[in-house]
Amino acid sequence: MQTDQKLKKEIIEIGYRMWLRGFIAANDGNISALTAGGKIITTPTGVSKGFMQPEMLLLVNREGLPVRKNNPYRISSEFKMHLEVYNQRKDVMAVVHAHPPYCTAFSVAGIALDHCVLPEAVVSLGAIPVAEYATPSTEEIPLSIRPHIQNSDVILLQNHGLLCVGKSLQDAYFKLETAEHSAKIMYLSMNLGNVQTLNEEQVDKLMQLRSGYGMSGKITSCKTGLGTEQVIRETIEEIKKPPAGGSDK
């Protein structure tokens, strides 16, 4: 496991990449990692994640309280979501949350990215569900991801953004890049009017590769064998659904 200093360096680098790639605006987003000592290093609130310094990062205990008293920086209210992940998933070592535009657009539309379309996404992400909308800074945030976090490392947060978890900071961050890249391609191909979904046999081969590589994390099976019309009809039906209540999203 990495030292706290190395984890801080990596968090700062990932924050910079998230800002540079337009995955966050202003002071959005948050990143955290589990330390060798069982605590959590996390990003502060009210700071651009593109311009962080090591002293801005906070060491937090498993109750969500900063270890150092009188710290001038404060923990993000979205940190509750990170704590929920670490409490639910013992295999997770890092959490990355951002508002990447294409993924967030799908979350606003209420459309899950759950069709088997791109091989890399099928292997590393599986189906990406949409967690029900939660009011920022409230207990609704951890509750919204609770139904999904045991089955998926990547979750769209309705009308909000994306949550990615992994066995390391790089693993969680790469899932963010892959999800946003896939969402962009899905959006473009839907607009071209032709979405070719992989069939069951093609997906089975990819799943064999996944187990051959010994890939970690949790994925849910994506939908196979749908024709263009069915994919577009399903996504339109998703849009027409009422936004909250009675849904398992």
Question: Which residues of the chain form contacts with Zn ion (CB under 5 A)?
Answer: 161
CB 117 → Zn ion: shortest distance, Å? 26
Of 100 and 161, CB closest to Zn ion: 161
CB of 128 to Zn ion, least distance (A): 16
The order of strands in the sheet holding 30-34 is: 58-60, 40-42, 30-34, 94-98, 161-166, 154-157, 130-131
Shorter beta-carbon distance to Zn ion: residue 126 or 161: 161
- Residue 176's nearest CA partner among 18, 30, 41 is 18
Minimum distance from residue 189 beta carbon to Zn ion (Å): 27
CB of 212 to Zn ion, least distance (A): 35
CA distance linking residue 114 with residue 130, whole number of Å: 10
- Which residues lie closer than 8 Å to 190 by C-beta, 6 or more apart? 231, 232, 235
Instruction: CB nearer to Zn ion: give 142 or 161.
Output: 161
Contact call for residues 195 and 189 (beta carbons, < 8 A)? yes
Q: Which residue has the tokens 């064998």?
A: 225
Is the CB of 15 or the CB of 161 nearer to Zn ion? Answer: 161
> First vs last Cα of the chain: how many Å apart?
35
* CB-nearer residue toward Zn ion: 44 or 161: 161
Query: Least CB distance from residue 95 to Zn ion, whole Å?
Result: 12
Residue nearest to Zn ion (CB): 161
Residue placing its CB nearer to Zn ion in the complex, 50 or 161: 161
- Say which residues have a Cβ less than 8 Å from residue 143's Cβ, sequence separation at least 6: 134
Min. distance of Cβ 161 from Zn ion in angstroms?
A: 5
Measured CA to CA, the distance from residue 110 to residue 107 in angstroms comes to: 5
Beta pairing, strands 58-60 & 94-98: unpaired
User: Using only C-alpha atoms, what is the Rg of the chain?
Assistant: 18
